[in-house]
Amino acid sequence: MIKDTKFFIENPYGRWVRDNLFSSSSSAFLTFFAGFMVIYSYRGIVGFILNPERMWTSVTYNMKLYMILAYPDEAMIRVWLSVGLALILGGLSIGFYNSGKTISLGGIFQKLFTISAVIALLIALAPTNTNVIQNDGSIEVVEIISRDIRMLILGPSLVLTLAFFFLRNIKIKNLFNTAKVNLTYFGLIIGSLYFIKIPTISLDSSGERIIPDPFLPIASTTYIPWTILYVAMLLFFFIGSLLKNRDIKIMARLIPISWFLCPLFIFSWIFKKPLVELNTVFSADIPSILVFGIIGFLIIRFSDNESIGVYRTPINIGFLVLSIIVFLLPLVFIFKATMVLLLLLLVVSPAIATTKEGKRQLFIVWIVSLFVLTFLIRGASSDTMLVTPTGSIFGGFSLTWLLAIFGTYASFPLGLALALGRTSTLPVIRIICTGIIEIVRSVPYITWLFFASVMLTVFLPTGVEFNLIIRVLILTAFFSGAYFAEYIRGGLQSIPKGQYEAANAIGMNPFQRIFLVIVPQALRTIIPTLVGSVITSFKDSSLVAIIGLFDILRIGTSVIPAQSQPVVFIGRNLEQLVFLSFFFWVFTFVFSRRSMKFEKRLGLGER
Amino acid sequence: MLGKVLKNFDIRTFWRDVRFLKWAGQVLFLVLFAYSLLLFVQTGINNLQSTNIPFSFDFLGDTPGVSIAEGFETLPDSGLRMLHVGMFNMIRIMIGGIIVATIFGTLLGIARLSSNWIVEKAATSLLEVVRNVPLLVQILFFQAFLLSFPRLEERDRGEIMFHVSSKGIAYPWPERQESAFMFFGLLLITIYLARTVFKWRVSLLEKEGRDTNPFLWSFLTFLVLTFGNWVGGYKLMGIIGLISGYISTMFDSIPSIAYQGLFSVTAVFLGFRYIRKQIRNTDTGEIRGILSDDDYFRIILSGVVAVFVVLLMFMPFGQNLTYFLEGDELFYKSNWGMPQFFDGVAKRFDFNISGPPVIMSYPEIVQAGTTKFTRYSPDLGKVTTVGYFATWFGVTLYTAIFISEVVRSGIMAISKGQSEAGLSLGLRRRSLLRLIILPQAFRVMLPPMGNQYLNLAKNTSLGVAVAYPEVVAVGQTLYNQEGQTLPVFLVWMIFYCSISLSISSIINYYNRKMKIVER
């Protein structure tokens, strides 16, 4: 298309333009067409957002409502503790798993050059006017970006672009760690909370709105907690780096386990503020730990005893029957839950507790997991001390997280069981599992949610009543369990037959074969799919808005558009939905990008 | 044989036999499963009885007394009819969505592989935006966006070409006339003829080596025949109507015992053939193989199904099913409605029908009854309501994005050698894509594509959030009216299961057809 003049052959930019934009006449046409479409839609979107009809203060003013709904003000510290715990853990893992990748000063300037160039381009292309449809159907043209504002942003960004353009060829040997650079960027964002000012709704002492809206920093009430959290995150980043340098191996196991336990701990103890009575602790928890600790000790001690080894199968079956009996008896819930853990120990111990060292380690693991389980269940099963007008401490974004995380946690074991059942060689079990999976999968999630909200109570014995959130969680567990089952089945089918035969050859029983050989390998191959389905369940959790749970979407679509005190936000739907789209987008996008990097590090799909 | 078994029987080894343990375990599992299911259902029935709303399907026959916002019948006279409207609305969105999502998704997938930088980046950014926002948020956004348009006012009244308001989108639409069925019937035949001409010209080209213009020929054939069809050629199709009338009378005169006999014999024959196939599978001719647990299971199951069909046909059970719905003949009819079907065909394909098959109809804004409100005329043009638009557009866009990923990975799965070979044959890029890459990629794409169609079908249920009366929303209205939550849920379940089953069986059929024949 383009004549091969000197510019397009020798200049690298010219070559790039020729190869990627004008390689043929149809490509040139596409370039103009697509370019026009992109610019047109960009201008449309900017016009839509900056339209004077939009009232963005309805979003910023209600940010607290969005995040935690009606969580009591005096317990706000608990919310910050929850966020802080996650951030601290994040800082620790960034420090500990720091890959040591570095970036040169020139590289940083290259990135900054790109960013400032994009900003300059965007502001240059932004529309000056936008159309406002009046009530009588006529269209009025309104100026949204005045010449002064455009120049105010365009000038500095052009100067910066030029500066970075020359700076990026700088030859300095200094290399910077990418993790540290990213943390600095994060710090800049936190710092900008102090500087960038926007019009904010504020009320005077008598509850009247101050007009015009005063300019205040973004997140004017929360920048101090954010700063403290950021400092704590930095601190733990350095602790993580230190641990990595000291080469402490156990952290490599502890960090994933803490990531697993962190949401459980947050939701059962920090966010909830449980009402724990010492009476129940002494009458139920401590006896349970003692009894099961001793039983576990005995199991580990005698697991390789030859005279008992003969009776292993009857003992296993006996414990299975015992646990079913314990389940049916009206005992404390902690006993029942610990019984399941004991069954797991019974299966695992003959394979691990073969040496003195192995026995010692297994015993430590056993005692720690007993304590953790009892601790979490005590928090989770107690009533909360917090009083909220909605009757539930979960609402808004915290409810979205609760549903996404616990939906995943509960559905995973169920999905594993269903997948194992579906791949089983026993026809009856296989057909039942296949039937459950297919029926659950072929009916949409929203109908299952209706089932949870109006029908599940019918099927429960009189006297047993669950909160709507719990009912939704039960159904979610089933629904995503069926999906997980299909993914896990894919993983199970990818395991070569030799693995089964090898496990049989060294004399493993079916449970050991499945849980020590097959399942770990199957799970490893499907980590990418599982991460994808976690993202899906995060997105799907927004559906609970339809059945009346106050999650972030319902707050945006029915609570805020009905507000008339202290400011009238009636009918402000569009702003909320744009904000929610952006909000969900940020989380899922970042999560999916992180998981891609994580996959690369695991080396999946490259074997 | 039994004596031999009994002679070798030893109680000490019997309970440790793997075969015994396997079956004992399964029976135990089945019993436990059935027991817990029974307990669950029993509790449900008891609880329902105590709430004074006993489980029944009576509401399907009752008049619900509520109207539906859109559909082929806005004031249905029975609950069943109302559900039918909902189902039809759902299928309408599903089919429209599948067609548009496939086309748009394929284009987007190809755009993502484009060598043009702007096209590739634009497609990728659209993908990243749509994929990462929950579908429900998108649907609600489209609804809110349409609702933000001005309302219909008195001054808008009159005929229009294209109009957008908070009531929906109105645009001209070709309206079907009486002769449309005959016209489109003949059109199908015309397409077949045009295809035959195309093949004939291509074979001529291959034989003689000169340019025979196959496309031009077939296109001209199509044009000429369609023109003839339009001006009155469709009357030829009256023959089908004539034949259908005779078939209808024939089916009417057959006694119901003949149908029952026919279906029973077919069921027994199919069951017998299946069992024979299962047994012969293990028989290589020289040695008889051992039947596995699965084989036994299949044999028993197919036998039971065959016997069940025969029972269903001849026992009064079948008649009882008819009265199950208070005379509403939903489940069972001995002639399966075949006379009525052919009667309908005979009515639509009639020699006496004349006039153009479709007429363009333009929308109009009119007064709503005698009220002071204004609305789009329901009979003229086409009006896409806000709920329909939001659901359809949201679901289609969302699925198209996932289809584009499927298409992209399908094309990437074709080895580079294929396109190099095509290019070296002198094919143009467009022909290369159409003739070599896409047919091969299609085979890889089919199973994941089927999954996306299933997802689309299930996602249409989100119409309930924007008040689009599809089957879930209609069911919700019904149980709010009658209190029968469980039967409505069962209807949903059966409906969605059958939709999923039909989509996946179509996909499986094509999958089998497209599979590379291996040894």
Looking up tokens 């299946």 gives B274
Task: Tell me the chain B residues in contact with residue A446 when contact means C-beta distances shorter than 8 Å.
Answer: 461-462, 464, 472
Most A CBs within 10 A among B33, B137, B453, B460, hence the mutation to make, goes to B137
Q: Do residues B93 and B392 make contact, with C-beta atoms less than 8 angstroms apart? A: yes
B294 closest CB neighbour out of A427, A455, A542: A427
For residue A269, the tally of other CB atoms under 10 A from its CB is 20
Average per-residue pLDDT in chain A? 86
Query: Measured between CA atoms, how close is B208 to chain A, in angstroms?
Result: 34
Query: Measured between CA atoms, how close is A172 to chain B, in angstroms?
Result: 32
For residue B361, the tally of other CB atoms under 10 A from its CB is 16
Residue A220 falls within a domain, yes or no?
yes
Task: Tell me the chain A residues in contact with residue B141 when contact means C-beta distances shorter than 8 Å.
Answer: 574, 577-578, 581
Residue B443 makes CB contacts below 8 A (sequence gap 6+) with B514, B515, B516
In this structure, of A36-45, A97-106, B388-397, the range with the lowest mean pLDDT score is A97-106
Tell me whether strands B382-385 and B168-171 are parallel, antiparallel or unpaired: antiparallel
Query: Measured between CA atoms, how close is A251 to chain B, in angstroms?
Result: 33
Q: Which residues pair with B435 in a beta bridge?
A: none
- Tally the residues of chain A: 607
Residue A98 falls within a domain, yes or no?
yes
Q: Which residues of B283-318 are buried (b: 16+ CB within 10 A; e: fewer)?
A: eeeeeeeeeeeebebbbeebeeebeebbebbeeeeb
Instruction: For residue A574, give the chain B residue with the closest CA.
Output: B144
Same-domain check for residues A482 and A589: yes
Same-domain check for residues A586 and A516: yes
Same-domain check for residues A42 and A182: no
Using one digit for the tens of pLDDT, what is the confidence trace for A409-429?
Answer: 889 999 999 999 998 888 888
- Phi, psi (rounded to 5 degrees) for B176: -75, 135
Whole-model pTM: value is 0.87
Same-domain check for residues A505 and A447: yes
Residue A387 falls within a domain, yes or no?
no
Residue A41 falls within a domain, yes or no?
yes
Same-domain check for residues A144 and A199: yes
Please tell me which residue, B57 or B421, carries the higher pLDDT value: B421
Q: Whose CA is closest to A457, among B50, B491, B494, B60?
A: B50
Residue A142 falls within a domain, yes or no?
yes
Q: Count of domains in chain A?
A: 3
Task: Tell me the chain B residues in contact with residue A596 when contact means C-beta distances shorter than 8 Å.
Answer: none
Q: What is residue B330's predicted lDDT score, i.e. its pLDDT?
A: 41
In three-state secondary structure terms, B10 is coil
Same-domain check for residues A406 and A534: yes
The token duo for A4 is: 């091969």
> Side by side, which strands form the sheet with B374-376?
B158-159, B364-367, B374-376
Tell me whether strands A139-143 and A215-217 are parallel, antiparallel or unpaired: unpaired
The amino acid sitting at B147 is L
In this structure, of A309-313, B125-129, B158-162, B457-461, the range with the lowest mean pLDDT score is A309-313
Using one digit for the tens of pLDDT, what is the confidence trace for B80-131?
Answer: 888 989 999 999 999 999 999 999 999 999 899 888 899 999 999 999 999 9
Alpha helices (H) in B315-373, listed in sequence order? 317-324, 338-348
Residue A105 falls within a domain, yes or no?
yes
In three-state secondary structure terms, B164 is strand
Q: What is the DSSP string of A84-121?
A: HHHHHHHHHHHHHT----EEEHHHHHHHHHHHHHHHHH
CB contact under 8 A, A27 and B44: no
In chain B, domain spans:
2-50, 79-152+383-514, 255-334
CB contact under 8 A, B497 and A442: yes
Domain at A588, CATH number: 1.10.3720.10
Task: Tell me the chain A residues in contact with residue B131 when contact means C-beta distances shorter than 8 Å.
Answer: 588
Same-domain check for residues A91 and A230: yes
A446 closest CB neighbour out of B129, B462, B485: B462
Residue A426 makes CB contacts below 8 A (sequence gap 6+) with B22, B25, B26, B293
Q: What is the 3-state secondary structure (H, E, C) of B233-289?
A: HHHHHHHHHHHHHHHHHHHHHCCHHHHHHHHHHHHHHHHHHHHHHHHHHCECCCCEC
Query: Measured between CA atoms, how close is A385 to chain B, in angstroms?
Result: 33
Q: What is residue B518's predicted lDDT score, i.e. its pLDDT?
A: 57
Which of A196, A231, A253 is the C-terminal boundary of a domain? A253
Same-domain check for residues A473 and A441: yes
Task: Give yes or no for residue A358 having a pLDDT over 80.
Answer: yes
- Phi, psi (rounded to 5 degrees) for A89: -65, -40
- Tally the residues of chain B: 519
Q: What is residue B289's predicted lDDT score, i.e. its pLDDT?
A: 67
Q: What is the mean pLDDT of residues B198-227?
A: 89
The token duo for A534 is: 């976690």
Instruction: For residue A48, give the chain B residue with the closest CA.
Output: B145
Q: Which residues pair with B66 in a beta bridge?
A: none
Using one digit for the tens of pLDDT, what is the confidence trace for A159-183?
Answer: 999 999 888 887 777 788 888 888 9
Identity of the highest mean pLDDT range in A171-175, A462-466, B237-241: B237-241
Q: How far is CA A502 from the centre of its chain?
A: 38
Instruction: Tally the C-alpha atoms within 13 A of residue A409's C-alpha that lie toward its C-beta.
Output: 14
The token duo for A281 is: 């602790």
Q: Quote the CA–CA distance of A504 and A510 in Å, as a whole number.
A: 8
Query: Measured between CA atoms, how close is B52 to chain A, in angstroms?
Result: 13
Residue A559 falls within a domain, yes or no?
yes
Domain range for A42 is: 6-50
Task: Give yes or no for residue B188 having a pLDDT over 90.
Answer: yes
In three-state secondary structure terms, A205 is coil
Same-domain check for residues A134 and A19: no
- The domain defined by B79-152+383-514 folds into MetI-like fold (1.10.3720)
Q: Taking the C-alpha atoms of A190, A195, A201 and A203 in order, what is their torsion angle to the nearest 10 degrees? A: 100
For residue B406, the tally of other CB atoms under 10 A from its CB is 22
Q: What is the 3-state secondary structure (H, E, C) of B94-111?
A: HHHHHHHHHHHHHHHHHH
Instruction: For residue B502, give the chain A residue with the closest CA.
Output: A442
Q: Quote the CA–CA distance of A117 and A160 in Å, as a whole number.
A: 8
Q: Quote the CA–CA distance of B350 and A301 in Å, as a whole number.
A: 90
Using one digit for the tens of pLDDT, what is the confidence trace for B380-406?
Answer: 888 899 999 999 999 999 999 999 999
Q: Quote the CA–CA distance of B145 and A371 in Å, as a whole number.
A: 53
Confidence band of A502 (pLDDT split at 50, 70, 90): very high
Please tell me which residue, B325 or B214, carries the higher pLDDT value: B214
Task: Tell me the chain B residues in contact with residue A462 when contact means C-beta distances shorter than 8 Å.
Answer: 47
Query: Measured between CA atoms, how close is B455 to chain A, in angstroms?
Result: 9
Task: Give yes or no for residue A57 having a pLDDT over 80.
Answer: yes
Same-domain check for residues A172 and A39: no
Query: Measured between CA atoms, how close is B245 to chain A, in angstroms?
Result: 40
Same-domain check for residues A97 and A38: no
- Phi, psi (rounded to 5 degrees) for A176: -115, 145
Which of A219, A236, A253 is the C-terminal boundary of a domain? A253
CB contact under 8 A, B492 and A447: yes
CB contact under 8 A, A23 and B135: no
CB contact under 8 A, A447 and B496: yes
Q: What is residue B134's predicted lDDT score, i.e. its pLDDT?
A: 94
Same-domain check for residues A107 and A203: yes
Q: What is residue A512's predicted lDDT score, i.e. its pLDDT?
A: 79
Average per-residue pLDDT in chain B? 84
CB contact under 8 A, A425 and B492: no
Q: What is residue A603's predicted lDDT score, i.e. its pLDDT?
A: 61
Q: What is residue A169's predicted lDDT score, i.e. its pLDDT?
A: 80
Q: Which residues of B27-39 are buried (b: 16+ CB within 10 A; e: fewer)?
A: eeeeeeeeeeeee
Q: Do residues A201 and A225 make contact, with C-beta atoms less than 8 angstroms apart? A: no
Indicate if the alpha-carbon torsion angle A316, A321, A325, A328 is positive or negative.
positive
Indicate if the alpha-carbon torsion angle B147, B151, B157, B162 is positive or negative.
negative
Q: Quote the CA–CA distance of B76 and B68 in Å, as a whole number.
A: 8
Confidence band of B337 (pLDDT split at 50, 70, 90): low
For residue A571, the tally of other CB atoms under 10 A from its CB is 12
CB contact under 8 A, A546 and B133: no
Q: What is residue B318's predicted lDDT score, i.e. its pLDDT?
A: 47
Q: What is the mean pLDDT of residues A44-61?
A: 88
Query: Measured between CA atoms, how close is A269 to chain B, in angstroms?
Result: 30
- Contact pairs from chain A to chain B, CB under 8 Å: 160
Looking up tokens 């909200």 gives A453
B29 closest CB neighbour out of A428, A546, A578: A428
Task: Tell me the chain B residues in contact with residue A403 when contact means C-beta distances shorter than 8 Å.
Answer: none
Task: Give yes or no for residue A606 having a pLDDT over 50.
Answer: no
How much of chain B exceeds pLDDT 70, in percent?
Answer: 90
Using one digit for the tens of pLDDT, what is the confidence trace for B287-303?
Answer: 666 777 677 778 888 88
Instruction: For residue B22, give the chain A residue with the closest CA.
Output: A426
In this structure, of A203-207, A281-285, B181-185, the range with the lowest mean pLDDT score is A203-207
Identity of the highest mean pLDDT range in A306-320, A564-578, B294-308, B459-473: B459-473
Instruction: For residue B495, give the chain A residue with the closest CA.
Output: A443
Q: What is the mean pLDDT of residues A197-214?
A: 79
